[in-house]
Chains A and B, each alone.
Chain A
Amino acid sequence: GEDVEQSLFLSVREGDSSVINCTYTDSSSTYLYWYKQEPGAGLQLLTYIFSNMDMKQDQRLTVLLNKKDKHLSLRIADTQTGDSAIYFCAERTAGYSTLTFGKGTMLLVSP
């Protein structure tokens, strides 16, 4: 079955870069997403990448996809304290709208 794995916790200092990693098992995944969840809030879509792409950049965010290893990463440049949140990786298989999520990575940014 489908499975998405993430490390649970990452701590960085303000101004550093953060890299959050994710692995998935479904080889038919066609879309991979990154969502952000702040305490008491819903999920905010940050960015997504099609499986035929290697990289996508959007302002401070860079997504890298290694399809051979089924590895996805999210790099946040110049991390700010406001970036502290839980980050979820999710995958969607072609033809289906269902998202399969990882357990989330808690990012803590200290001043």
Chain B
Amino acid sequence: QSVLTQPPSVSGAPGQRVTISCTGSRSNIGAGNDVHWYQQLPGTAPKLLISVNTNRPSGVPDRFSGSKSGTSASLAITGLQAEDEADYYCQSYDGSLSGWVFGGGTKLTVL
């Protein structure tokens, strides 16, 4: 069981908007620790999508956005495209565990 909780799956039709939640606790996100998001396309290594809650690295489309509030964070994807079909992971630091933690991952299906 992951320290950060994500829905196992989400889906949406092309062009729609979907959000992926990442719920933590007072020892990680709620402690003010930053949240980062990764995209893992099938059979490939994870790729940084969002850093420090809201920052998009160069090359990441502005269809992807992140937010954080309290003990949770969210990744929003607008204008869904078939190429967005992948697994998405959130990541933060947990002070109780003294280590970096990931969510269990969310599989995005584009219908």
Q: Say whether A associates with B.
A: no
Q: Mark A residues whose CB is within 8 Å of B.
A: none
